[in-house]
Amino acid sequence: MLTSDEIEEAKRRHLLVPVKGLASWAPKSRAFLMCKPLYTELELGKSDKDETVRKRWAELEGAMIHFVEGGRMTEQLIKQLKPEKFEHWELLSRKPRPSLRVFGRLLSQTYL
C-alpha cells in the first residue's frame, strides 16, 4: 500500500491526478485519484469529435465528481468486487452505451 508521502510524490509528478469537485459549497469528504492513463483518456474523450463519445466520458467524469462531492453512492454507481478483503471497487458509468468502468481501491483518509 502507498504511504501518504508516496501518494503526494505521485501527485506532484502528475502520475496521480485528483478529481476536483465543481460545487464550491460541497464538503471535501472524499478523494478520487486517477492514474495518468485514465486522466489522458478522459481528456481526449471529452474533446472527441463524436458527441456520443464526449457524452460517455462526461458522464464518467460526472460520476467521479459526484463521489468526490460526497454524493449518495448506490450499487448502481459503485460496487465492491469479490472477495471483499482486497477492497477492490468498480465505479460504473452505464449510460450512454457502451459503459465505462473504473476499477480501484479505497484508502483511508490517513493516506490521502
Average pLDDT for 97-101: 82
Q: What share of the chain is helix, strand, coil (3-state, %, to 5)?
A: 40, 20, 40
Q: Is residue 25 assigned to a domain?
A: no
pLDDT over threshold 70, residue 1? no
Which alpha helices (DSSP H) does the chain contain, by range?
4-12, 36-46, 51-68
Query: Residue 63 sits in which domain range?
Result: 4-20+30-111
Number of domains in the chain: 1
Q: Are 104 and 88 in contact (CB under 8 A)?
A: yes
Could you give the CA distance from residue 18 to residue 20 in angstroms, rounded to a whole number? 6
Tell me, yes or no, whether 53 lies in a domain: yes
Segment 29-80, tens digit of pLDDT: 688 899 999 999 999 999 999 999 999 999 999 999 988 888 888 888 888 8
Pick the residue with more confidence: 81 or 111?
Answer: 81
Q: Is residue 37 part of a domain?
A: yes
Nearest 5°: the CA angle 9, 26, 89 is 55
Evaluate whether residue 96 is within a structural domain. Answer: yes
> According to the model, what pLDDT value does residue 107 have?
61
